[in-house]
Structures are given as C-alpha cells and as structure tokens.
Structure 1
C-alpha cells in the first residue's frame, strides 16, 4: 500500500474524488428500507482513507465548500422559511423546539456522564440530530477556541468520528420509529388514516402512487353527439379540469387523407359547436376516458393534436402569509387563464398532494401546462417563472456569500468561549435573506433549483470529505476510548426527542397520524424517514407537515454547532 499512500500525498485532491466516488456508491446500498446516503457514505469512506493514507485537504478547500453549501441551503429555504412565519404554520414550530431542547439536554448529560471532550460532544449532537450542517458550524467554532493548534485539530477530528457513529444509529432509529414502531404504538392502520386525510383534502380517497401513464392528456374528437352545445356546456359535461383548446372547421381535416392541418379557431366559452367540427381537448385522463359518448368519435390524426403547448416551473409569490388553498388557485386560473393546468406541486424539493385543500405558500414550486400564451400570463400572476436557460447569477451569489462571511466575523465572548455564527451561520442567514429577496424581486438573483441542488450536495460532500480525512488517524483511538457509549448516546439523541414529539402531536395537538409522523421526521430533517413514512402511508399526505417543520428545523439546527461547543466547554 506504500505506493497508494505516496500517490495520495502527492495528489491529495485525488483522495477527495476517491471518497466521493466510493462514498456515494456506498450511500446507494439499501438494506431493507435504509440507505446511508451519499454524504454519510462519503464521510465513512474518507475516515477509512484518512486512516490508511494519513492525507488531509487544505483548510481553504473545506471552508469554501462549506460556505457554498450553507449559503445555498439558506437560499433554497428562504422563501419557504419566511412564508411559514405565520400563526397557522408556527404551531408546528413546537416540534423544532422539542428537538432543540431535547438534544441539548441529552448532550449536556452525555458530557457530564461520559466525560466527553468538546469535539466528541458536538459530533454526537450533529449525528444524533441527523443534521450534517451542524458538523460544519461546530468545527468552525472549535477552530476559534484559544487552544494549541494540535489540540484543535484533534477536537475537530473527533467531531467527524463521533458524527459518523451517532448518525448511523440515529438514522436507523428515526426510520424504524416513525414508519414502524410509532404506528404500532398508536394502534392505527397508517395507510387507512392516510386515505382518510387524502379524502378530507378533496381527493377521491385513492393513493397518489406514481402512475405509468401521464395524468394530463390531449384528445381530438369529431363532433356528432355534442352538436349545438357551447364550449362551456361541453366542458361542464366532461367534468372538472377539461378544456377545449381549439375548434377546427368541419370538413377541414380528414383523418388519413393526407391534407394539411386546418386553421384553428379560438375556443371561447360561447362558441357553438357544429356537426363535424374537430375539437382538441386537454384534461385529466379519467375525465376524457368517456368523451366519445359526450362529443363523438375520437380521431387518430396526429395533425389535429398539433398545438403550441408549454410547460413552466413557477415559484409561487404574492400569497397571503397564511397561504392559500390549491383549489382556490385553480379556480382563479380557471377564470383568468383558460387551458392552464396545475400538474405538480413541491416544497423544499418534496412533492405535495395535488388536492384542493392542500395549503400552498410563497416559495412553493408549481408546474403549469397549457397553451404558451396562457401559461406565460398565469406564471406572471402566480409568481416567478424559473428560467432553465439561466443557471446562476454568480454576482448575486458571490455578494451573498461575502455578506455571510462578514456576519460570521462578529464575535461575542461568553466566559472563555468566543461565540460567533462563523462562516456557516453567517452564510446561512445571508442565504435566507437573499433567497427571500430573490422571490420578491425575480429580476435579480437567478439560481436554478437543479444547479442549486448540485452545488449544495457537492459543497457538503466536499466539506464532509475534508473532515473525514482529518478524522481518520484519530478514529480508532476515539472508538476505543468510548466503546458502545457513543452509539447508545446517539440512539438516545434520536429516540427521546421523537418520543416526546409523538406525545405532543398525538395526545396534545391531536394531529392526524400522517401529519404527526411527518412532523417527527421533519424535526430531524430526515429524508430517509419521510420516504419510509410515505411508503407505509401509501400517499404523500405526511409531506404536508414534514415540509413545514423541515423548513424551520433546517434553519435552526445548524445554529446549534457553536452552542454545543460553548456548552461542552462550560461543562468540562
């Protein structure tokens, strides 16, 4: 292995990409319903590489990667975070409060009983809360302690090792608790409860599992039965969501005759249909399944369906602080933008139920499909149309990161411990601000969600890799010192807050079971947990609570890194 060690010492950047490649491969391995994910996988591989080769990355690489990650995290969460600062949403903030108070209390007990050092305590908190961003803010805070450089390096290495141990334990615990044990304790059929909630939101009671066939379809029919009806009357007969996009004159198209497509007439609600008119309709597949009986025979002529359709991804804005029902948004569009369909809804990268009573907030993303002119008009009314052609406004992003770094330089001293937000906390706050400003002023600050997601994941994985490489040489020593104490503490760090929140959600707030379990996953910011809950529930109703709590916890938890360091310093 000497040649491998020498190679990595000559090219330490190669260790980064080896850890990323192997780490993300390990993170994809699924055992039952569990997979570590790319970030945790990268940390484990990096610790092993660091243990074998004793190679580290430059501190500037680590700091730049973390600044890009944490700013992007705040930028993406900004609109949703501020949208949820209202009375209706803030009641879900109790779960974030339970999480924060519980993990700080458990960390304090672990520090005293196990005699944890500052780095191990901070890593235990970060991993038990399954919040990788805490790793960065805690590492930064340790770097500002008035200690010898060698001691600081050891404490920072302990953060990564303790995090990897407690993260694995915490991940397994929260997934099993939220998707298996808690429904059994509540003595409920989670799938039946999710169907009830789905129906209460205006659904049919059916699950929203992905379908092989698209839900929105186009059809062309020749008018026979519908002769004499107006477009508005026909749409009412066909059902909610069906729109007659255009009417072509009788005799202008003959299926299979090879004639050119006819000129199309606008389909206004008052247009009276004549026999042999050709109608082009768009709407839900189920609503158009029986259109033959209402209109006349369906045509197989592809030319008849040629239409200038468009798809737009829109970030909602200009909504009341308490949000609006999705059904109200649909009604507004039906009156002002004929032929525009809402085909997808998501919040913080998670899909939400497309049900009439689903509450939408500023910052949510919605997909519009329909005629180009109508989609453009509707997008302008609803908020900001995301331009996939412009990936990122680097001036806007760089200015935001600079501001965050300056905010992070502000330091307050508590006893012997200097307290500051650091680059992580400062860039998180500036990201929230710049993301919110972007939603309010869409002319500036383009940061395409796909590009933002890549930057966020790559920045965090690079930072985690740097931490893991430096942790490798100390990992065996730390594990030998504490043995099973760290895994057990990591389990308690997840188990106790989750159980407390179950009592709050089930017994005090009386939340429906899917919302209660979604809230518990959200307070941990645990994507694997909410995925397992969705699979058990059979639909996406748990996401309605998860996204609200996630938006709050995702901002508050990273700020606990310096708090954990200060608390550990005071107790040791």
Structure 2
C-alpha cells in the first residue's frame, strides 16, 4: 500500500472502503425510474467511483486481501443460491417446466453464439468479451466465473481486471434491454394483459398442484370378499386410500382389510387415476367421509428427523406399526401422492390419518420440529463450502480444449449446494436454510464481491468509457442483450403460443434479473411471471456461470 488515509492500517482502510461502497451502492440501487433501477448493481458503480477517487489520491489496497474478500463473497453468493434452488432444481426440468427451461437455455446459448460472433467480427479481447457478456445479461456470478477463469489461466493483473470494466459498461443497457424486449413482443403480438392473466389462471386450475380426492361406494360384486391388496391399482399405482367406512365404522384401510359391497373408500390422487379407480370399484358416493365425530383424526406433520428423511415411506412401516395412513405429501408447494416406494425429504409436510394417539407417535418418528427450519446449520454451511471449493479445484479434461476445465470458486460451490439442498440433511448436518437467512447471506456475499470489483476497476473506468473502447462495448453489449431475447420471445409467442406473462418470466429468468421480474409482475397481479422465473432460474444460473469459463478456455 503506497498511500493511507489518516494513518489507517491496511485492514481498517479496506474495511472502510468496502463498507462505504456497500452503503452508497445500496442507496443508489434504491433509486428507480418507473420501477426500474440498478438494484444490487449500484454497489458496483459506487465501488467504481470510490476506486477512481482512491486512484487519484494515491490510495491503494492490499491486492491479496481484496482478492480474498472478492472470492469469499462470490462463494457465499453462489452457495446460498444453490441451497435455495436445490430442492426444486431437478423437478424444474420435468413436465411443464421442460418447455420453459428449453426457451431459457436457448436464450443463454444464443447469447454465447452472438458473443463469439462479435469476437471474431471485431477482434474483441477475450477478457473484455466475457465481461461485456456478463454485464449484457446482468449476471454477476458470470463475472466472477470469468474473473476466476482468467486468473486460473495465468492472465496478468490488467487482464483479470478487464472483465469488470466490460461488465460495468454493458450492465445498464442490460437491464433496460430486457424491458424493451418484453414491450416489443407485447406490442407486436397485440397482447391483452387481463386476458392472458385469465387464461393462465384457467390453465393453472386445470393442472392444479393440489391433489383431488374422491369418495367411492363399492358396487363391483367381483371384489366382494377380496382384500384391498388384491384390488388392481389400489396400492402403489398413484392412488392413496386414506380412510374407509365399513359396517358403519370409519377406519384406516390396510392391505389385508377385506372389502365388501357397500363399503365406502376415500381416495386421494391425480384426477385421471381417481376416475379409473371409480370405474373399477363402483360409483361416486354422495356421503363424504369425514373424521369429525369419529375416533380418527388427521394432521399435517413436518419431516425434520434425520432418521426419516431420505427413507422410503414403506420402510417406516407407519400403516403396519401404527395403523395410520399417509394420504398426501406437500413438497416445494406441490402435493404429490404418498407412494410406498416414494422417498421422504427433509422439509416435506405429510398428511397423516389415523387414531389420535397413534398420530402423536408418528410425530415423534417424523420429527415435526418447525424450529429446525428457522435456524441456519452453520456446520453444514461450512462443510458445503469446503466440498464446493474442492470440487471447483478438480481439473476436468475435455477433448478439444487447450487446458482442463475447472468449475472454479463459482461453479464448484454452486453444484455442491444444489446437490446438498436437494439432499436436505445427512447425519448431523442440515442444508435447509430459512429464506430470510439465505437472503441475508446471499446479499452480503454479492455486496462484498461487487464492492471489490468496483474498487479494482475504478482507476480505469472513465478512461475506458470516454477515450477508450467503452462506447463500442456498449453497442456490443446491447447486441448480446437484445438479439437472443427478441428471437426467443418471438418464437415463444408466435410459434409456441406461450402465455405472454409466463414468457416475460422466462425472459427475466434467462437473465436472472430481479428488476425485470418486478417490471413483469407490475403488468398484472397474476403470479405467472414469478412462477416461470422460478422455474428457469436454477438451470439458467448454472449455465450463466459456466459459459464465461468455457469462452475463456476456448478463445483465450
């Protein structure tokens, strides 16, 4: 350090600079025009301003210290993202999420293709190129991955700092460009927003995540005298029998319960399977089987015991040992049938029907400790970071690449966190984090990262923007932003007929851009945009982090 302020030591001086960048940047990010602002990106620009002032006054910061803070902030950020998206990551790639994720991935891949084309057309240096791309798609972890990849390749200090300049130059239009793409598709298609909201609500009700139920009177005489286990499709085929009325008594049906004509079964499962069972059993009952006024009761129990988490429902032998039935499982906001070969996950909410005293015993087996979801298991967090850093440091030989590929300090912790978030818990470790704590750690990490990036890039930013290639970089960034968004937006709307509000969520999610999501949500109170954003976010975040690393390895 060749300059100090008021005789402060290196640690004190760096701490003050980082804190000032955080304060000024967060206040700047709250300023918005018609709901659009810099958000957390304000920290980067505040850091640039402070870095410029520090450079002009001869104040310099310990580079090793700043590098550690930058990388640790990035690790915190991507790890908490992985923990958040892990439980729903693989589910988002199936069923209805497949089309949305395909469109979002297409935006990412098309953006990479445009970036490569610009590189060869205008001979843009690779360090600037990956920074421009990350700023054009408003993806900060991508910037971290690019910076890390350059450092791993042995690039000089100037080259490692260049992505930050490209990011800062391209970032503002990156935010505006997403909104322009949404508006262009809207006006080109003549979208009626209220009509789109009604159509989405109708579709959502049709495919609701809440499992329906049906009471069926047995009329099929061929089933008279058979046990329930002998009825085709009644066990382990997507339908759950939660209760049964037999000889005027309400009971929990077991596999060995003998069936008789006139018995009533309460079934839970997908609508089409319920109707199929109705055809097998008999007719829909006018009498609804309720536990009120009977010896049976029902309760929703939270799975928090490590001994139950990760085990198949059948292995717990709840029906055989306690005479209870598990009728539904709520996971990540969706109800799924309780099948014997299904595996319980930490945080699941199961609906249990049976005698009251037995339900209390089942609570002890499953856990039902809500406080475990309200605290951060820091041993699990630090173990996950250790595993993530180790994974990120493993070289992966890829044919055709000049050097081994590494997930790095951005990709390694992200992959590990997704897997651990999906696992939920193991032994004494838990990887379920309260939303408020997750958000706080994530924001803290990205603030540290952006503050350091800004401070290091500040001494070159104005010169690059005014007398250097800054204006050209703005145009390159605008191209990377608009071409993929408009192309996929047009295909999604005019070719695939995707709901416009859902399409807006895909466009915002493909850029992992919260301000764009806020703009999309402001068009209508429908949750369509938020649902689509959350569906594509996990996959897109992974692609955005890995893409800059591949470009560095392929083009440098």
TM-score (norm 1): 0.66
SS in 2 for 1:92: helix
Measured in 1, the distance between the counterparts of 2:49 and 2:171 equals: 16
Matches within 5 A, 1:439-518: 444-479=430-465, 480-518=467-505
Match in the other structure for 2:292:
269
Measured in 2, the distance between the counterparts of 1:474 and 1:80 equals: 42
Match in the other structure for 2:73:
65
TM-score (norm 2): 0.68
Match in the other structure for 1:215:
none
Q: Is the 8 A contact 1:175 1:532 kept in 2?
A: yes
SS in 2 for 1:395: helix
Which stretches in structure 1 are left out of the alignment for 5+ residues? 204-266, 272-308, 321-333, 355-361
SS in 2 for 1:188: coil
Measured in 1, the distance between the counterparts of 2:483 and 2:360 equals: 49
Measured in 2, the distance between the counterparts of 1:313 and 1:25 equals: 41
Per-residue deviation, residues 54-75 of structure 1 (Å, max 9, x unmatched): 3345322222222222122112
Rate the CA distance shift 1:166–1:386 in 2: closer, same or farther, 3 A: farther
Per-residue deviation, residues 422-467 of structure 1 (Å, max 9, x unmatched): 1211111111111111168897334322212111111111011111
Q: Is the 8 A contact 1:408 1:425 kept in 2?
A: yes
Per-residue deviation, residues 37-60 of structure 1 (Å, max 9, x unmatched): 12x100001011111103345322
The answer to whether the aligner puts 1:125 opposite 2:133 as a matched pair is: yes
Further displaced range: 382-391 or 135-144: 382-391
Match in the other structure for 2:378:
394
Which stretches in structure 2 are left out of the alignment for 5+ residues? 207-289, 313-324, 336-343, 351-355
How far the C-alpha of 1:392 sits from its partner, in A, is 1.8
Measured in 2, the distance between the counterparts of 1:552 and 1:385 equals: 31
- For the aligned residue pairs, the C-alpha RMSD in angstroms reads 4.0
Matches within 5 A, 1:235-250: none
Measured in 2, the distance between the counterparts of 1:440 and 1:555 equals: 24
Measured in 2, the distance between the counterparts of 1:555 and 1:563 equals: 13
Match in the other structure for 1:422:
408
Q: 2:20 aligns with which of 18, 21, 39?
A: 18
Matches within 5 A, 1:51-450: 51-54=52-55, 55-56=60-61, 57-147=65-155, 152-178=156-182, 180-202=183-205, 269-270=292-293, 387=371, 391-412=375-396, 416-438=402-424, 444-450=430-436
Rate the CA distance shift 1:5–1:476 in 2: closer, same or farther, 3 A: farther
How far the C-alpha of 1:550 sits from its partner, in A, is 1.4
Q: How many residues align structurally?
A: 430
Measured in 2, the distance between the counterparts of 1:384 and 1:566 equals: 49
Rate the CA distance shift 1:474–1:81 in 2: closer, same or farther, 3 A: same
Measured in 2, the distance between the counterparts of 1:464 and 1:547 equals: 24
Per-residue deviation, residues 176-207 of structure 1 (Å, max 9, x unmatched): 322x332111101112211232244339xxxx
Q: Is the 8 A contact 2:169 2:470 kept in 1?
A: no
Match in the other structure for 2:46:
45
Rate the CA distance shift 1:318–1:385 in 2: closer, same or farther, 3 A: farther
Rate the CA distance shift 1:30–1:418 in 2: closer, same or farther, 3 A: same
